[in-house]
Structure formats: C-alpha cells, structure tokens
Structure 1
Amino acid sequence: MTIAEHFESGYIYHVYSHANGKDLLFVEDSNYQYFLDRLLKYVTPVAEIYAYCLMPNHFHLLLRFKDVAENGVEDEHQYLMRPFSNFLNSYAKAYNKRYNRKGALFLDFLRRKRVQDEKYLLKLLHYIHNNPVHHGFVSKAEKWKYSSYNSYTNVEKASRIERKEMQKYFDTKEDFLGYHQSNVEYDFMDLE
C-alpha cells in the first residue's frame, strides 16, 4: 500500500497529497509561490526535487533523498519525514491565517511511493507534468505555470529543480517535448 512505505535515503519517491475534503490548497498565485518557497526551505536540505506539479486541490513531487548515513541518524524514516511535516504545517498555518480558516488543510497522511525502475520513473515524470492536462485545466503541459515542466524546456534559466538526472533520459530537448506530448499508459492510476 502506497501510504505505508517508509522513506529511505538514496531512493527516488513520488510524494503527493490532497486537500482535506473539497478544500483548495491554492486560491491565488501567491499561494503557489509561497508553497514552493516552503518546499525549498524545508525539503531541499534532505532531497533533490526532480519534478513537481501544484494543482488547486493537490500536489505531486518527484524527488530523491540525499544520503543521511553520515548524520548518524537512528530512525531514517522519521528524520526524512520531519521536513515534510514542518513544510506542510508551515504552509497550512499561513494558509489558515490568510483565509481565516481553521482545521486540517491536508489529508492526514502524506502519500508516497518508491520508484522501483526507470520505466516507472519516466511514466511519473510524464504523469506529473501532464496532470493539469489530465484534469482539464490546460490543453498542453507548457501552459500550466505551477509545474516544473517549463524549467526543463528553458534550461538557460536557473532553477532549483535538479534537472540533470532526468535529462539523462532524453538526448535532446525535442526528445523531452515529444515524450511529454505522447500518449503514455499509466498503470498506477490509484493516485488521487
């Protein structure tokens, strides 16, 4: 079951969560930027972000945890989970204050699935970047400004996304674009 997997350093994970009930996570542009700022502050010390997509009521992250062995960590999962807890709590507190709201903003657990092979990794990259298309918000991935897709297509611009690892799978920018425009069969549709 995807919610029970423990985080382990050195591995790539698909991490995702959803707003509680029919709530939204993002109401205006500034919410998306604040969420990304919190993500960078709390999560990048322990993980490299390969891809992300922020949707009005949920988000997806593709990341690889850095090696924590040299930190003398006893409970690796708890050590890697703490930044996510701080990240989501920080965002939810600010969101609740901004919109005069009370209660849990996110579902009570952070869903996660370890990436087991390259085929699944590439399908996830496609899925995450095409999530706004799948949900009918835009007709093409490049039109959604709240994902890492355009970071990959505009490599001249500096980015906090760790692009090199995923770029290894594509010989050219055209290969990347073509893959994202192709139809990919998702065999993991229990995500949302």
Structure 2
Amino acid sequence: MKKNTNIDNFECGYVYHIYTHANGKDLIFREEENYRYFLEKILKYIIPVAEIYAYCLIPNHFHLLLRFKELKHVENEHFYLMKQFSNLLNGYAKAYNKRYNRKGSLFLDYLRRKRVNDEKYLTKLLHYIHNNPVNHGLVKDIRNWRYSSYHSYINTAKTSHVERAEMMKYFDTINDFIMYHRSSIEYDFMETL
C-alpha cells in the first residue's frame, strides 16, 4: 500500500492544516447545537495543546489551522497530540450517534494534516479556510457564515480563543485583512475538500 505523503507527523512548535470529512455522505453538523458542541470539544482537547489560528466548520467537514505548543515531559509528541484529536473526534461522534440514534464511524478513518512551512502557504490557507463556505456554495459572503474564525478577526472587541495577533502580523489593518479575504486566490497548492 502506498504511503500518503500528505500526512505529516505532529511535532510541537509547528503549524499544521488539519482537516477531515464525514464518512460517506453523512453530515458532521446538522444543527446549531452540533457546531457549538464541537467547538466546546476543541476548547477541551485542542486549546490546551495548540494555538488556533483559523477554523471553519461546514456540514460535512472541518478545517483547523493551528500551531502546537511546546510541551515538556512528552516522550512521543505525535502520539500525544493525535490522542487529543482522537478524544475530540471520538467524544463528538459518540454524542452525535447517541443524539441521532445512529451507529458506526462518523469521520473518515484518518485525520488529514499538512505541515505549513512558509508564510505564503500560511496566508493562503487562512484565506482558503475562511472562504470554504463560499467555495462550497453555502453562502455568497463569508460574513454570513457563523461557524468560522473569520468573525473573531473582524470583531476584535470580543474575546476569542483564536490567536488573532499571530495572523494579523501579515496585514496592516483589519480592512487589509477583509480585502484580502474578498480577493480571488488560486488554491493550486493543496488538496481541497
């Protein structure tokens, strides 16, 4: 079996684009409560080990852009960090299956991930993740999608678990950030969902 070269091992201190899809034609998020519950699970399992730069949840998949924190006294970083995602996805899937009286796997059997190694790729990912609902025809304007970190960036008066300052280093003003997200970007460098 050919190894998927698009899957990088997790290491502390690095930025990753992490995403997965529902199994088959299933939905991960059916209603408002599902989105809220998933974000609560991210707070519980991912925020302790990572700084979130961007996220987007849409009905059949999600994207995260994050940097793993430096963790002391962890022997196998990849295993430890994967365990956090396993807890997130398994905990969510169990609650989801119970609520909707369903059985079986909710997510694909692997978590897709790609290490981000340069700034151009990083800023394109930010654009891609926030524009994902537009690209999938769910809304015409990203301002109308409530389940992404885009609003955390443009509503700076509100507290957020999104690490806005790190990504805002690439923009002179909030208006520059907004205009960048309205611009057309070529996503020729990544596998899209």
Q: Same fold (TM over 0.5)?
A: yes
User: Which 5+ residue runs of structure 2 have no aligned equivalent?
Assistant: none
SS at match of 1:4: coil
1:39 partner letter: I
User: Which 5+ residue runs of structure 1 have no aligned equivalent?
Assistant: none
Aligned-partner Cα distance in 2 for 1:49–1:93: 24
Aligned-partner Cα distance in 2 for 1:186–1:51: 17
Are residues 1:4 and 2:7 paired? yes
Aligned-partner Cα distance in 1 for 2:49–2:173: 30
- CA change 1:178–1:2 in 2 (3 A) is farther
Aligned 8 A contact 1:18 1:59 in 2: yes
Moved over 6 A (4+): none
Q: Residue 13 of structure 1 is aligned with which of 6, 9, 16?
A: 16
TM-score (norm 2): 0.96
Q: Spell out, residue by residue over 1:7-28, the C-alpha distance to the aligned partner (whole angstroms, 9 max, x if none).
A: 0000000000000000000000
TM-score (norm 1): 0.97
- CA change 1:53–1:2 in 2 (3 A) is farther
Are residues 1:63 and 2:100 paired? no
Deviation, structure 1 residue 80:
1.0
Aligned 8 A contact 1:2 1:111 in 2: no
Instruction: Name the counterpart of 1:87.
Output: 88
1:95 partner letter: Y
1:67 partner letter: E
Aligned 8 A contact 1:20 1:104 in 2: yes
Q: Equivalent residues in 2 for 1:17-166 (5 A)? A: 17-68=20-71, 70=72, 72-166=73-167
Deviation, structure 1 residue 103:
0.3
The number of residues matched between the two structures is: 190
Aligned-partner Cα distance in 2 for 1:2–1:47: 23
Aligned-partner Cα distance in 1 for 2:166–2:47: 15
Deviation, structure 1 residue 74:
1.6
Deviation, structure 1 residue 76:
1.0
Instruction: Name the counterpart of 1:170.
Output: 171
Deviation, structure 1 residue 189:
4.0
Aligned-partner Cα distance in 2 for 1:46–1:106: 22
SS at match of 1:130: helix
Aligned-partner Cα distance in 2 for 1:119–1:171: 16
Deviation, structure 1 residue 157:
0.6
